Amino acid sequence: MSNLPQTGTTTFNNPVIPGFHPDPSICRVGEDYYLACSSFEYFPGVPVFHSRDLVHWTQIGNALDRPSQLRLPLDSPSSGGIYAPTLRHHDGRFWLIVTNVSSDGNMLFTATDPAGPWSDPVPLPDVPGIDPDLAWDEHGNCWCTVAGVGQVRLDPYTGETFGPYRKVWSGSPGAKAPEAPHLYHIGDYWYLMIAEGGTERCHSVSIARGRTPEGPFEPCPANPILTHRGTEHPIQNTGHADLVQGPDGSWWMVLLGVRPGGGTPGWHVLGRETFLVPVEWADGWPVVGELSLEAPAPPWPLEPGPVMPVRDDFDLGELAPHWVSLRHRPGDDCTTKERPDWLTLRARGASLDDTDVTFTGRRQQHASCRVRALVDVAEGRGGLAVRLDEQHHYDIEATSGEVRVRARIGPLSTVVASRPVPPGPVVLRVDVAAIETLSDARTGPDTVIMGIEEPDGTFVALTSLDGKYLSTEVAGGFTGRVLGMFASAGSVHFDWFDYEPLDR
């Protein structure tokens, strides 16, 4: 899933999992690393990745891939849904604890294979808040720590809690939103690491330690141990971190960050991404190394990088794990079985403005990229979309005899271009081009160009749109862009979908 160096290189490129992959949580089993991320309103939920070197990651599944595991009401808002998983390995099994803010609250899942299947949820009605963490002490007690920062002892098999919920640390004085707690037993201390300052430009990582998992906890005198607030660093919003130890004894941190582009205030469109940084220890405290876009490689051979899925001909029996839909994915409305080697989408909502629209897409992972699809709309209406949420999306839609481009920006929605086309399937195309030179301080991070390809491959651009309106700084929320296919009427068939990175 990443565009990173191959074996034999001395550096790697951050982010290690680009695109909308926030709130990373990591664990190691032997020489294998596993990582999970938040998924919010998308189904299936909680993408799970595997790596042998911490740098190259391959998505091996989604933990929540059945309606019995993930209930997202059709009227639930974007940036709701699944928040901040914690992934751990203990007593021969994998444990995943997560919050569904749109319906079921905190839940716990288990698996013997992180690729799945994962269990149905164990409800945690007495665990309050969000961002739950799991840690086990030497006596077998399981401690659940949540944003706030509070803690309760838990039976992870039944969900029963023991004793009162109690606050254990409030974070740094004056810092808002102490969240994303992770508790570790390292050496003589229990370390409690949190994010604070909010998940925007003031995001940071702080840590405290105590002699027991219950505390009391003393804060690190060097807090925050990582932040880029108030700097011109190309990686911003750094926080929501997790620690892992390599088999050689070295320590590493995964965390979220963003790469703003354009002028002022800087717009990030790919969402919060997963970054990697080394950690040393001094005087019993972690010292975070330099977080950079190009960093020294770990002191072990890098595995060959995974081949990013680019073209999908829909010739498999089911969709690959990187495909996501909105809130649910009924089999009759999204299927590769109705027409062999085609993906068929059957419309529910009438447009991308609707929370129940039939949409299937993949995360945008490159600042510049190209998306193409061959679309047959003889039985309906649909096309390609660049989506941030229901109020912020650009669509190129085909119907019998016409292609049109629509832009939705907040309360405004308009058709910005149209063109007649002959009957039959049509190739729709979206080019996203990062801006290299600022014309003034208001220059957006990229341009979204929408059009069609003629039978001879000639690209006919219908319009060019400013990409900053499909950014978190404009739309709000916690997600990033997803590029995909939709049906707005009847049944729409897609022969293939091609995603081409264009980053230099």
Angle formed at CA 347 by CA 326 and CA 77, multiple of 5 degrees: 30
H helix and E strand count, the chain? 1, 38
**Closest residue by Cα to residue 222 from 204, 236, 197:** 204
Q: Are 502 and 366 spatial neighbours (Cβ–Cβ below 8 Å)?
A: yes
Candidate list 23, 196, 312, 466, residue with the active-site label? 23
Active site residue 466: no
Q: What's the order of all strands across the beta sheet hosting 251-258? A: 236-245, 251-258, 273-282, 285-288
284 CB neighbour count, 10 Å cutoff: 12
Amino acid at 267: W
Is 179 annotated as catalytic? yes
Interatomic CA distance for residues 481 and 150, integer angstroms = 33
Q: How far apart are CA 171 and CA 313, in angstroms?
A: 50
Is the CB of residue 451 less than 8 Å from the CB of residue 460?
yes
Question: How far is residue 101's CA from residue 82's CA, in Å, rounded to a whole number?
Answer: 6
Q: How many Å is the Cα radius of gyration of the chain?
A: 23
Catalytic residue among 53, 133, 179, 196: 179
Q: Cα(319)–Cα(66) distance, rounded to whole angstroms?
A: 14
Active site (catalytic) residues: 23, 179
